A and B are shown apart, each in its own frame.
Chain A
Amino acid sequence: MSPTVRSAKPPFGAHAGSSRPPFRDDPRLILVGIALLLAALAAMVVLAERSAELSPDFLSGAVLYALTAADLTMLVALAFVLARNVVKLLVERRRALPFARFRAKLVAAMLGLTLIPAVLVLIVGSELIRNSADRWFNAPVDDVLTSANAVASGYYHDRQLTVSEHAGRIAGSLAAVDLAASDVGPVRDLISTEVTEGRVELVQVYRVVAESDDGRLDVVPVVDVATSSLPQADAPVSADRLASRVLAGSAESWTVEPLAAGGDLVRAAALVTGPDGGVPLGVVVVSSHLTGDVADHSRRITQAYEAYSQLRVLQRPLQGVYLSFFLMVTLLILVSATWMGVYIAKRIMRPVHLLSDGARALEAGQLDHRIEPETADEFGSLVEAFNSMAGGLAVSQRKLERSQADLRRKNVEVEGRRRYIETILERIATGVVSIDADGTVGTVNRAASRLLGLSEAAVGRPASEVFDRIDLRPMGALLKSLPAAHDPSAREVALERDGKAIYLAVAATTLQRAGAGEGGGGAVMVFDDVTPLIRAQRVATWRDVARRLAHEIRNPLTPIQLCAERLRRHFSTAPPQARALVEECSGTIVGEVESLKALVDEFSQFARMPAPRTVPVDLHALLDDALHLYDGLFDDVTIDRAFAPQVPAVRADPEQLRRVVINLVDNAIEVLRGAATGGAANNGDGGLVAVGTAHSTADGVVRITVADNGPGIPPGDRDKLFMPYYSTKQRGSGLGLAIVRRIIVEHGGNIEVSDNGDRGSTFTVELPCSA
C-alpha cells in the first residue's frame, strides 16, 4: 500500500519550501496586523480630538505633511493591491487557473460595498468641515476680536508714547546736570518730581563712561527713583540693557517687560546729550507700570486675537488636516476591504482549490491523495468528507484490483482449462460439435471434422446450413429434435460416407447460459464412431449363429450320410434301374452332405477362430512367402510387388496373416479370372494384382494393399463384403472376407476396401507397428 499523500500545498503565492507559514495563515500576525490597524485608527481619533490643543503651525506643517504622506502611501497601497489583483486576474485567466473570476468578483464586491459609503462619508465630511470653517470665521467674531486687539494694543501704544515723551523730557532737563558729579542729589531732585507727581513709576539715570581698554562707551547707573507701589523685580537688568542699546544707537528705544509679580512694565529710554547736542552724557530710562489686570486682559485679548487670526490664516491647511483624516480613514477602509476581500477569497479558495486539486488527483488515479484539514469549520468538514470519500474510493479500488487479479487468475485458469479441453477435443476420437446460441457452428474438433467430413469453414456458418448436407441430415434432424430442456438426447445415427455406412453414437444436449433464454444457450453434439463396434457385434452374432448352425447341422449329417451309404449298399443287389436310381440319389445325398460338412467346417472354423499368437513378423518376408505359392499358376494374371523400402516389423500371427494375404490374393485372382471368363474387358492389359506395403509414421501403422484391375466393387456392396454369408461368387460361402476382417480386427488393425483409381478395387489392411 502506497503511503498516503497529504496535500497542504498553498495554491497561490506561498513558499512551499519555507518553514514559516504565510501571513494569512499565521493568526498571531493577523492579530498584530488588526491591532496595528486599530491602533492607527485610535491614534487618528486621539490626534483629531487633541488637534485643538496642538499649535496651528504644527498642525499645518508636520501633521499635514505626515497625513499627506500617509494618504499617498495608502493610495499607493490601494492602487498596488488593486493593480496586483488585476494583473493576477489577467495572468490567471490567461493560464486558465480556477477561481480567478470568483476572487475578482469577491474583491470587487467587497470594494464596491465599502467604496460607495466611504466616498459618501468623505464627501459629506469634507463639506461639513468646509462649512464649519466658514462659520468659525464669521464677521461678528472677527470684528470683536480685531477691535478688542486694537483697544489693547492701542492702550499699550499710548502708554509707550507717554513714557517715551517723559523720557525725552527728563533727558532734556538732565542735559544741564553733571551726571558725573559725586553728588547725585540734583539729579534725584529733578526726577523725583516726575515720580512723586505720578506721571511715571520709575526713572533710572545712567552715566556714559568710556571703557578703559578699547574706548568703547558704556553706561553705569547713577540714580533711580521709584514709587513704593512698584513691585521689585529684575527690572534694573532690563533697564541696563535698554540703556546700553539706546546708547549704541539702536532704534529699539522702548520695551514692554512682564513682571513676575504681575503686570507689565513699559519702558522707554532717551539719550542725555550735552549742551552742544552731540556728545552723549547719559541715558534716562523711564518706566510705567501697567497693573496685572490690565496687562492680563490685554494679553488675553491679544492672544485670543492672534489665535483667531492664526486659525484664519491656517484655515486651508487645517481643513486639509481634517480632510486628510477623512481621506485616510476612507483609504484605510478601502485598503482593508480590498485586502479583506483578497484574504477571504484566499481563505475560501484555498480549501476549494485543494479540493479541486484533490479531485484531479483522484481522477488521475492517485486515490491515496489526502487533504490536510486546516480549519474546524464547514470547510474542514468538507475536507474530512473528501478524505473519507477518497478513503472509500481507495478501498473500493483495492477491492476492485483484487477482484481483477482474481478474475485475471481465473481467466488464466479458464484459458488453460479451455486449451486443455481444446487439446483434448482435438486429440480424442470422439467428435464434438458445438452450436452457439445464434445457431451457428461454434466448434468442430478434428475427430468431428474427420467423421463428418467438415472443414474449418463450417465454423461460423449456421448449423442448419451445415447439417443440411445430404449425408449429415440425420445429425441435423437430431439437432432439430432436441428438447428445450438440457436433458441429453442420445441416439445412434447411421451416415453414409463415400459409399460406406458409418455408425455414430450421438449424444446431443442443449446448453444453458446465464442471460440466455430457454434453449438459447446453444447445443453440443458428442459422437463416437461405433462402426467397428457394430461390426464386431455383428461378427459376434454371426459367430454365434455359425457355431449353433454348425452344431445343429453337423449332428444329422453323419446319420444322413451313413443312411445314404447304407441305402446304396442295400440296393447294390437291386435291379440296375433301381440300383442306378439309388446310386444316383445316394451319391447326391452323400455329395451334398459332404458339401454341408465342408460348409459346417467353415462355419465352425469361423466360430472357433483361435486367438492370434503374435510374434514379430517380417512383413515382406511373409508376403514373399505367401505370394511365392502363386508363381507360375496363372498365366493370365500378374502378381506385382510394390513394397516400401523400410517397413518395420509387426506383431502378428504369421499363419493367420498369411491366410489373410492368400484370401485377398485369391479373391483378386478369382475376380480377374471370373471377369475374363465372363467377357469383362481388361482393356487388353491382362489381370494385375498389385501387392504393396507402406508405413505411416504419423498413424503408427503399416499398410498392406492388395489391388486389382478388375471390374471393382459397387460402393453399396463394399460394407457388406465383410459380412458372413455375403459373397459375390457363386461358389463362395461368404465367410472368407468375414474371417479376414476378424483376423485383422483381432490383430488391432483395420481393413477397408476402396476403388483402385478408375478400375478395380483396393483392399487396405492396417496393422499397428510392433514398436
Chain B
Amino acid sequence: MIKTLMTLTEKVLARASGKTHVQPGDNVWVGVDTLMTHDVCGPGTIGVFKREFGKDAKVWDRNKVVIIPDHYIFTSDSMSNRNVDILRDFVREQGLPYFYDVIDDPNGNWTFDTSKGQLSRQYGSRYTGVCHTTLPWKGHTRPGEILFGTDSHTCMAGAFNQFATGIGNTDAGFILGTGKLLIKVPETMRFFLEGALPAGVMAKDVILHVIGEIGFDGATYKAMQWEGPGVYTMSMDDRMTIANMAIEAGGKNGIFPCDQKTLDYVRERVSENGTKQDFEPVELDREQSFSYDKVFDLSKLEPTVACHPDPGNRKLAKEMGNVSLDRAYIGSCTGGKTSDFLAFAEVVRGKTVKIDTFGVPATTKVVRELKETMWDGLSVWQILESSGVRLTENASCAACLGGPVDTFGRLNQPMKCISATNRNFPGRMGNKESQVFLASPYTVAASALTGRITDPREFIS
C-alpha cells in the first residue's frame, strides 16, 4: 500500500523500492522495469557487463532489455557499422527478444551502401529509428514504471506517467547484471499549465519558455512534474516533446499525470507488440511538497526560440527577424514525430523553402505515415519534397547530434541553423563554430521559407 502525500516521482520510486514512503534525498535501490541502450553506448555497456559479471554472464531478465540502434546508422564510418554488429552479437548470445536491428539477417553484418545515397531506404523490416520515439510505439513505456536508458533524452518517457532517466554505461552494466540501481530521490518542481495553446504556438514553445524561465540548470537533480488543465488538452506527442527536454534544464526526469489519453495510447501499443500489458499508474495526491511551484498560462505563450549557445537562452521569434540563417532542420526524438512534420507541412505547403532544409523522420513509422497521409490528393511526403525539403527515408538521430562527418544534414562548416531538435551547445550539430537555434516545427518551417528567424504566425491564420 502506497501512502499518500507524495509527488508522482516519489510514488513511482517508493513502489519500485518496496517502500511505503520516500522523500527527497533518500537513496533507494529500485527494481528496473526496462533498460534501453543503443549503438553509441550499448557496446560500452556490454563491455562493462562482461568485464564485471564474466564473459558467460546472462542479463537479469531478457524481456526487460531493449536495444535500439539509432544514432550512427546511415554512415560509411566503419567503427559505427561495427558497433551495430556488436549489439547484434550480444542479442544473439543472450536471446533478447526486443532488438530493432537495421538488417533482417541475425547473423549478418551491417554496412551502409553509399552508392545508394542518403535519401532512399536502407533498412530491413525490423528497424524502427530513434530510441525514445520507438519505446512508446513498440509498447515499452507503461505508467507507474521505471525506465533507464543510456541516453539523456530517456526522460521523454515521463510523458507516460513513468520515472525515466538517462544513465551511463557503468550504471547500465550494473543493471544488466542485477536489475537494480541505487538512486537518490529528487526534489520535485511543479509546472502547472492553464489554458490552451493559441494558434501558431506548440508544445515545443512551452518547454523552451519554461527552460528560459528557470535556466539551463534550473532543474538540476530535480523532477519536473507537469500538471493542470493545460496538460490534459495536450496530445501524447505534445507531452513527449515537453518531457524530452527536462534534461535541457538539468532535470533528472519529467513526469505527467496519467489520463484517458495515456491509457488509450499505451494499451493500444502494448497489445500490438506483445510487450507486458499490465501496469499501475501513479495518481496525483491533493497535497504534495514541491521545491518550486508555478502556474503558466498557455494562452499567453508566443513562438519561442532558444538561441546559441544553450537551451536556456530564450527569445521570442518575432524579435529575431534580423537573424539570417543558412539552414533549417526538422527531426529527432523531440521534433521528428508525425505531428511535427504535419505542423511543418501546414506552413510550407505550396511554398518553396529559401535555405537548405533537411528533414529526418524519427522513426520508420513516421516515414510511412507521411507517405500515407493525403492532403488534396498529394501525400504529405510529396508536399514536403515539392517545397524543396530534403527528406530522407532513413529514420535516425542523424544530425541532431552531429555524428560522423557523412551524417545527413550535419553542419560541416560554421553556419547558422534553426532546428526542431533539443540541444544547441557549441558543436552539437557538427562544426563547433556553428550556431544552432532551437524552435518549434512551425517556427522552423516559417524560417525556412524566409531565410531568417520568423514568427510562424506570419503564415498561420
A and B physically associate: no
Query: Which A residues contact B (CB, under 8 angstroms)?
Result: none
